[in-house]
Every structure is written in structure tokens, then in C-alpha cells.
């Protein structure tokens, strides 16, 4: 018959277990949240649109997203595809409130007539230099042939900067082709901020609290052992 585990041994086991969990939480802080830094909405390499998308909102490409306070939406567009040898493809995008987009879609108006909210435009010097270059605050994103741009949207802004304004928004994208083709292909990647910072905070606090509890239980174990 096995001897039952006494309370002192149970306390030791519990304190060690809690300490291990606390250490795991703290180890997770610099490593785990990086995988939750962003939530990928779209990644098409390439995406092909008909040129009707430039005159009809319901033919354009649109992605709906929600922004919380301090969050942003990132869009990367690369107009680097061959398009059957055509050099006349241009890509445009704008950010609008969800209600504005729904009205435009219902009436099928020209997307170019929509008033965009402010966003940040950063050019990638592709393919000569992949680093980011000039930063501009704009209300109309334009990507010419063999160009790549990074766009950052937080809700609104002005000619100098952008700022956070929570809500539901839509990024609208369309193509034009001044050549013989009636379509255009380009790469597009759209993401919004994830829960990385929140998870980092939660696991930091949880790990610290668990280690504190483990220390307290360890002290209680030592006191019980000395009383023996």
C-alpha cells in the first residue's frame, strides 16, 4: 500500500509546478506575441481585375476591416507583373468608411469620385532598392508600372500626419490600362494589427504573479519543513 503524500510534499510540488508555468509565461513574452502582431486579410500574388473596376464600384476590389483605438491597416501593392507585355497598367486605391462604400456599391458609382480618408504612402524603390523611401500623407494611392508601395491607414489624418479613429472601413482598389488590354494583374497584401501587445502584457503579468505565488508557497514549505 502506497504511503499517502503529506501536505508538505504537496505544497512543494504545487510551488514547483506554478514556478514552471510562470517561467514559461515569461519566456513566451518576447517570442510568442510576434506571431500575433498582425492579422492577414488578403494576400494575392497576383490579383487580376478588369478595367471596368475603374468606373464601377461593384467591379472594384474591396476589403472590409475594423480598427480599434491605436490600431492600423497595412496595404502593400506591387505593380510588377508582365501583364502580357503591357506597360500601361496603373493601380489606384482609397480608404473610405464602410457606409460610404455600401452607398457607392448600391448605386454602382465611379470609385474615383469617392472622397478618401487620409493615409500614409511609402514608396518601395523596387527592384533597385527594396528599402522604403519617401513618406507622404495622401488621399489617393497611385501605383504605376514597376512600382511598389506600402500604405498605412489608421482612420484619418491631414496633410501632415495620420491618427487613430476606430471604426469600420473599406480599402477599394481598381486598375486602369491605357493600352490594348482590358485587365491588369498586380500583387496585394492587406493586414491589420493583431493582439501581440495585449498578449505580451497579459503573459508578463501572469508570469510575474505566478512566480510570486510560487515564492510564497516555497517560503511556506520551508517553514513547514523547519517545524518538523
Q: pLDDT digit string (tens) for 43-94?
A: 888 888 888 888 888 889 999 998 988 888 999 888 876 655 555 788 999 9
Examine the domain organization and report whether 14 and 122 are in the same domain.
Answer: no
Query: Are 89 and 185 in the same domain?
Result: yes
Task: Tell me: do 119 and 211 sit in the same domain.
Answer: no
Whether residue 168 lies inside any domain: the answer is yes
pLDDT tens-digit series, residues 158-182: 888 888 899 999 999 998 887 767 7
The answer to whether residues 186 and 208 belong to one domain is no
DSSP element (H, E) containing 141 = strand 141-143
Q: In what order do the strands lie in the sheet with 119-124?
A: 38-50, 183-193, 73-79, 147-153, 119-124, 132-138
Structural contact between residues 110 and 58, judged by C-beta atoms closer than 8 angstroms = no
Whether 18 and 71 share a structural domain: no
Residue 127 lies in a domain: yes
Q: Over 80: is that where the pLDDT of 227 sits?
A: no
Asked if residue 115 is part of any domain, the answer here is yes
Do residue 11 and residue 65 come from a single domain?
no
74 with 153, same domain: the answer is yes
Do 182 and 95 sit in the same domain of this protein?
Answer: yes
Same domain, 26 and 75: no
Q: Residue 35 has what pLDDT?
A: 57
Residue 138 belongs to some domain of the structure? yes
On whether both 71 and 134 belong to a single domain, the answer is yes
CA atoms lying within 13 Å on the CB side of residue 120 = 17
Res 170: pLDDT? 94
Q: How many folded domains does the chain comprise?
A: 2
169 occurs within a structural domain: yes
**Residue 1 falls inside a structural domain:** no
Range of the domain at 87: 38-193
In the chain, what's the furthest Cα-to-Cα distance? 93
Residue 2 domain-assigned (yes or no):
no
Amino acid at each position: 500500500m502506497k504511503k499517502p503524500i503529506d501536505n508538505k510534499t504537496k505544497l512543494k510540488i504545487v510551488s514547483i509546478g506554478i514556478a514552471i508555468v510562470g517561467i514559461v509565461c515569461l519566456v513566451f513574452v518576447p517570442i510568442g506575441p510576434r506571431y500575433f502582431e498582425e492579422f492577414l486579410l488578403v494576400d494575392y500574388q497576383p490579383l487580376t481585375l478588369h478595367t471596368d473596376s475603374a468606373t464601377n464600384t461593384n467591379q472594384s476590389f474591396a476589403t472590409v476591416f475594423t480598427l480599434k483605438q491605436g490600431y492600423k491597416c497595412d496595404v502593400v501593392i506591387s505593380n510588377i507583373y508582365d501583364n502580357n507585355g503591357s506597360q500601361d497598367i496603373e493601380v489606384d486605391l482609397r480608404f473610405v468608411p464602410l457606409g460610404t462604400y455600401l452607398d457607392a456599391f448600391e448605386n454602382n458609382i465611379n470609385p474615383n469620385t469617392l472622397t478618401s480618408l487620409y493615409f500614409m504612402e511609402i514608396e518601395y524603390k523596387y527592384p533597385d532598392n527594396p528599402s522604403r523611401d519617401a513618406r507622404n500623407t495622401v488621399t489617393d494611392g497611385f501605383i504605376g508600372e514597376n512600382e511598389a508601395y506600402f500604405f498605412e491607414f489608421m482612420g484619418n489624418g491631414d496633410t501632415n500626419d495620420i491618427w487613430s479613429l476606430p471604426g469600420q472601413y473599406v480599402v477599394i482598389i481598381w486598375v486602369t490600362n491605357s493600352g490594348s488590354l482590358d485587365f491588369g494583374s498586380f500583387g496585394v497584401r492587406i493586414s491589420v494589427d493583431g493582439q501581440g501587445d495585449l498578449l505580451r502584457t497579459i503573459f508578463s503579468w501572469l508570469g510575474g504573479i505566478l512566480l510570486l505565488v510560487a515564492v510564497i508557497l516555497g517560503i511556506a514549505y520551508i517553514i513547514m519543513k523547519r517545524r518538523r
